[in-house]
Amino acid sequence: MYTLSGKLKITAIIFMILGAIGLVYAFATAPTSIEEVKEILAAQEHHGNHEMAAGEHAVAHGDASHDDEHAEHVLHQLQNKPWAALYVGAFFFFMIALGALAFYAIQYAAQAGWSPVLFRVMEAITAYLLPGSIIVFILLALSGVHLNHLFIWMDPDVVATDEIIQNKSSYLNVPFFLIRAAIYIIGWNVFRYFLRKNSLKQDEANDNSYYRKNFKLSAAFLVFFIVTESMMSWDWIMSLDPHWFSTLFGWYVFSSLFVSAITVIALVTIYLKSRGYLPYVNDSHIHDLGKFMFGISIFWTYLWFSQFMLIWYSNIPEEVVYYVTRIEKYNLVFFGMVAINFLFPLLVLMNSEYKRINWFVVMTGVMILVGHYLDIYTMVMPATVGESWFIGVPEISAVLFFGGLFTFVVFNALTKAPLLAKRNPYIKESEHFHY
């Protein structure tokens, strides 16, 4: 049995407290009036880069009413900023739990022989699914009651003057949106609950009936998952840009959450092993997780590029605006995260031997997580805060808070059950797994 070390617990709690303080600060200091924004803009013009200030000048000082309009626009963006930061952080850690559940279900459905020694680690990571998904749902509901303006299609004033959104309003309306979110979240959590329950019961069972139940449950979950995950990505991320659409967006978000989840599984496994737990996990298991990290990173890049190239080539205004915003206003993060998510795993994890060296996997894993956080960041931010972005107190606080909560929930779940799923029919094969 694993016992939660005091040091880890305190670290997680300190992260949460620091994050909470930072978030309170971020919400408290968000501007509330146009006058405040004007002061901020004036200060920026003084301190900022001279060339840029001159450019802004020409745009902003066309006439007084335009000036007000610009300030109001920036006000909305700055008011959105802490909300968007909170949303990105909440979604990022939630998606890791969801991806771990998908990976876990794939192991069952494929009757994989190598992975059962890692089942308890995967189950523990999925423990964050319930709190994580509830937090995301609350944030969506708060958007639904107009506490923030993350989703502009929720604003009746915007919809009234926007024909494209009007045409989509039978799908994009707040009640249906929240009902759909509830269906996804309840579905995932119910599957998670029974998969975990059967897995624990299998430990004490005399036959493989619970294993067989989990096999069927996993197959059903994967069907439910790929449909709901796809719709979730349209609802929760793509609808932030309600005019824009991409048909492979569901896959794109899937690859992002999948690679992040596999990375976290590898990191938690390596951490537990370094603390003397999981004696039956050998470097071949780490090697296999490394292969998945490598492979899914390439898959992610393939989807990123497929989405980018078709839109770049056809150059249709309503599609290409998505990338124009990102390339013009988010150039460094946007291309930086492609480099981190593609080149780093490609070059570091290509060599077979390196996938067995723990610190190589840890280093790449940390970079993959940073890269995929930035991936979600560049999906959410351009539509919500536009050019008023920077990674500051709200963003870092949100990551600290949810990171702390995630760590606490996951490692607390690890203490609840033996770390070896001892009665799994493939456990012997998994213990002897050797590449």
Partner 1 sequence: MASTKIHAIYTDDDILMQAVKDTRAKHYHIEEVFTPFPVHGLDKAMGLPHTRLAVTSFLYGLVGLSVAILMMNFIMIEDWPQNIGGKPSFSFLENLPAFIPIMFELTVFFAAHLMVITFYLRSRLWPFKKAENPDVRTTDDLFLMEVLVENNNIEEMAQFFKNTGALEVNLINK
Binding site for partner 1 (CB under 8 A): 305, 308-309, 312-315, 350, 352, 434
DSSP-assigned states of every residue in 18-68: HHHHHHHHHHHHS--SHHHHHHHHHHHHHHS-HHHHHHHHHHHTS-HHHHH
Least distance between partner 1 and beta carbon 328 (Å): 15
How far lies 69's CA from each of 61, 64, 82, 147, in Å?
11, 9, 22, 21
By residue count, the chain amounts to: 435
Under 8 Å between Cβ of 338 and 370? no
d(CA 136, CA 101) in angstroms, rounded, equals 17
Least distance between partner 1 and beta carbon 344 (Å): 17
Residue with Cβ nearer partner 1 (161 or 314): 314
**Where would I find the beta strands (DSSP E) of 286-336?**
none
Residue with Cβ nearer partner 1 (275 or 434): 434
Residue with Cβ nearer partner 1 (142 or 298): 298
Least distance between partner 1 and beta carbon 279 (Å): 22
Least distance between partner 1 and beta carbon 281 (Å): 19
AA identity, residue 134: I
Rg of the chain on CA atoms, in Å: 23
Tokens coding 174: 């707040």
Residue with Cβ nearer partner 1 (191 or 344): 344
Least distance between partner 1 and beta carbon 434 (Å): 7
Least distance between partner 1 and beta carbon 301 (Å): 10
d(CA 2, CA 269) in angstroms, rounded, equals 12
Residue with Cβ nearer partner 1 (234 or 323): 323
Residue with Cβ nearer partner 1 (138 or 350): 350
Residue with Cβ nearer partner 1 (166 or 352): 352
Burial (CB count <10 Å: 0-12, 13-18, 19+), residue 67: middle
d(CA 415, CA 326) in angstroms, rounded, equals 43
Least distance between partner 1 and beta carbon 135 (Å): 38
d(CA 50, CA 55) in angstroms, rounded, equals 9
Least distance between partner 1 and beta carbon 191 (Å): 34
Residue with Cβ nearer partner 1 (65 or 314): 314
- Please give the helix or strand (H or E) that residue 221 lies within, else none: helix 209-236
d(CA 278, CA 414) in angstroms, rounded, equals 12
AA identity, residue 403: G
**Residue owning tokens 């609350």:** 138
